[in-house]
């Protein structure tokens, strides 16, 4: 499936939900993908990409950005506190703000830097012990804490449990965002992005449906 076909499906889901075209943007998840596949999507005109690891992104995106102006890069995976400085320099958005210690370190780094990427609080909607993210019941307090530190929280991100109906988790995330006055919702991946769009996603994270299976070494 090409990125243009995925985009067409997003547009169709938006129309079905009565939402305007462009209300949900496609984040092409390029982690551990061969460079030629990423270059092909860039050459086709797409400019919004997501990576899971700071180190991997740092190894390929500075050179790609020189060749393809206008790239917007999002960090989707966990951010270690010792990688904050390069992450702030490399990413336009960090979608994995998931714990108080990270918020505090980010706030200190941002204060010294004077600028900050767009931030998304990651909510562990399934309360899965193996997954990062703030529990739904703690999300309001965590968002307030981040705002008190002047962190620019734009929205929420979630990865629903693989074995559960994703629509329930997307609806929960949308409710948390609404009551906190947040307008951005990053939810939906290759298997369920159309459902996410119908339930209010403003960003969907699609990798294998665009690039094919990942090339893990």
Query: Which tens digits make up the pLDDT trace of 91-109?
Result: 999 999 999 999 999 999 9
Angle at CA of residue 51, ends 194 and 55, nearest 5°? 170
pLDDT at 3: 85
- Alpha carbon distances (Å) from 86 to 4, 55, 89, 130: 31, 9, 5, 26
> Diameter of the chain by CA atoms?
45
Give, as one character, the DSSP assignment of residue 19.
P
Phi, psi at 26, each rounded to 5°:
-95, 120
Cβ contacts of 109 within 8 Å, gap of 6 or more: 84, 85, 88
The β-bridge relationship of strands 72-75 and 48-51 is parallel
Assess contact for 174 and 201: CB atoms under 8 A: no
Please list the ranges in the chain whose pLDDT falls under 70. 1, 214-217
Whole-structure pTM value: 0.95
- Cα of first residue to Cα of last residue in the chain, in angstroms, is 23
pLDDT at 127: 97
What three-state secondary structure class fits 18?
Answer: coil
Q: What percent of the chain has pLDDT over 70?
A: 98
pLDDT at 1: 64
Give the Cα separation of 192 and 177 in Å (integer): 20
Q: How many CB atoms lie within 10 A of CB 58?
A: 15
pLDDT at 131: 94
Beta bridge partners of 50: 29, 74
pLDDT at 42: 96
């Amino acid at each position: 499936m090409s990125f243009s076909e995925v985009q067409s499906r997003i547009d169709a889901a938006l129309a079905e939900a009565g939402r305007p075209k462009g209300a949900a943007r496609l984040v092409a998840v390029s982690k551990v993908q061969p460079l030629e596949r990423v270059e092909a999507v860039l050459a086709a005109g797409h400019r919004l990409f997501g990576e899971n690891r700071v180190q991997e992104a740092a190894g390929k995106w500075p050179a790609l950005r020189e060749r393809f102006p206008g790239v917007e890069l999002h960090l989707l995976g966990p951010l270690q506190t010792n990688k904050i400085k390069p992450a702030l320099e490399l990413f336009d958005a960090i979608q994995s703000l998931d714990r108080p210690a990270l918020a505090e370190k980010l706030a200190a780094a941002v204060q010294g830097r004077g600028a900050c990427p767009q931030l998304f609080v990651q909510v562990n909607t399934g309360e899965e012990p193996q997954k990062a993210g703030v529990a739904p019941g703690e999300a309001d307090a965590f968002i307030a804490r981040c705002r008190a530190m002047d962190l620019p929280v734009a929205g929420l991100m979630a990865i629903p449990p693989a074995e559960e109906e994703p629509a329930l988790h997307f609806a929960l995330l949308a409710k948390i965002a609404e009551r906190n006055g947040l307008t951005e919702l990053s939810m939906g991946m290759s298997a369920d992005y159309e459902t996410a769009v119908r339930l209010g996603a403003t960003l969907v994270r699609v990798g294998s449906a665009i690039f094919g299976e990942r090339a893990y070494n």
